[in-house]
Amino acid sequence: MSRAVLADTGPLYALSDPSDQFHERAHRELEAITADSLAILVPFPVLCETHTLVLRRLGGKYAAGWLDEILSGSVPVNPQPLDFLEGVAKLNKFSDQPITLVDAVVDRLARRLALPVWTFDGHFSVMRSSIWRP
């Protein structure tokens, strides 16, 4: 699938929370993604991480609707075991950086699928990931 972006937690959460500093940017970028007819792939670790943020910050009722909306408007993708193992190796390589395992797995998945990451997180630049920009 070459006409897609791999979503990170930041944009997905920012779309949901009007108080998030990146809320307006996330909506502008979502419009650009839609205009370019790009599919949005959401790795399951990102889905879980974002759901946790939405649940804790915006409440259970909102989180339930959010989950339905995300699953209807994106393509969930499951990393392979090797993506996690190589993500751990990436963490070891960048042990001086506060990169999460989720970020490292997304980087590995993006490389394997040859897709850019839709993110607001500078850690992806540190890892030299391909980053989607409108």
Cβ contacts of residue 107 below 8 Å, gap of 6+?
Answer: 87, 90, 117, 124, 127, 129
Average pLDDT, the chain: 96
- For the stretch 38-87, pLDDT in tens is 999 999 999 999 999 999 999 999 999 999 999 999 999 999 999 999 99
The CATH number assigned to the domain with range 4-126 reads: 3.40.50.1010
- pLDDT value at position 105? 98
Let me know if 109 is exposed, middle or buried by CB neighbors in 10 A (0-12, 13-18, 19+): buried
Domain ranges, ordered by start, for the chain:
4-126
Query: What is the arrangement of strands in the sheet containing 75-77, beginning at the earlier edge strand?
Result: 75-77, 39-43, 4-7, 117-118
- For the stretch 23-34, pLDDT in tens is 999 999 999 999
